[in-house]
Amino acid sequence: MSENVWTHERTSCAACRGDISAARQRKHAVYCSDACMRAGNRRAYREANPKRPFTTATTGAIHELLVSADLLQRGFAVFRALSASCPCDLAVLQGDRLLRVEVTSGVYQKGGGVNYPPHPPDRFDVLAVVTRDQRIHYFPESALCAP
């Protein structure tokens, strides 16, 4: 990256390496144009959410197994749905209470937040969102206290 040593503004575009206009530099622009900004955002999204060579069904199964293993490691007794049409994917025992766990796939958004498809909130107690780096994000995290 090239910087103007006096102002520390970036002088070349992060996408195409072309010059950034003085007007854009004053606005602390990283890209020379809106098109380069969109290309840069697309590349950043794909880097944060790499494509995987599995079908959606296989990805879903992998995510359920990852969440199951994580919950087992946290000390919970874990139960898995026997049919794809069950209202939630997993259940864990918390004391004498069953907690419904729905597993879904999520993507990182710009800024680091996690996005995931909407799920009917009356069908689970905990939503486990697995991102493509195989990290698990529990919502609400507070629902999973000690087994």
Q: Closest Cα partner for 102 from 92, 114, 113, 112?
A: 92
14 binds Zn ion (CB under 5 A): no
Q: Which is nearer to Zn ion, 45 or 54 (CB)?
A: 45
Smallest separation, CB 36 to Zn ion (Å): 3
113 binds Zn ion (CB under 5 A): no
Binding part of the chain for Zn ion, among 6-14, 43-51, 57-65, 79-87 by CB under 5 A, reads 6-14
Report strand pairing: 136-139 vs 126-130. antiparallel
Asked if 131 and 107 touch (Cβ cutoff 8 Å), the reply is yes
Smallest separation, CB 94 to Zn ion (Å): 53
129 binds Zn ion (CB under 5 A): no
20 binds Zn ion (CB under 5 A): no
32 binds Zn ion (CB under 5 A): yes
15 binds Zn ion (CB under 5 A): yes
Q: Closest Cα partner for 107 from 40, 65, 37, 50?
A: 50
The binder of Zn ion chosen from 11, 12, 16, 147 (CB under 5 A): 16
Q: What are the residues binding Zn ion (CB under 5 A)?
A: 13, 15-16, 18, 32, 36
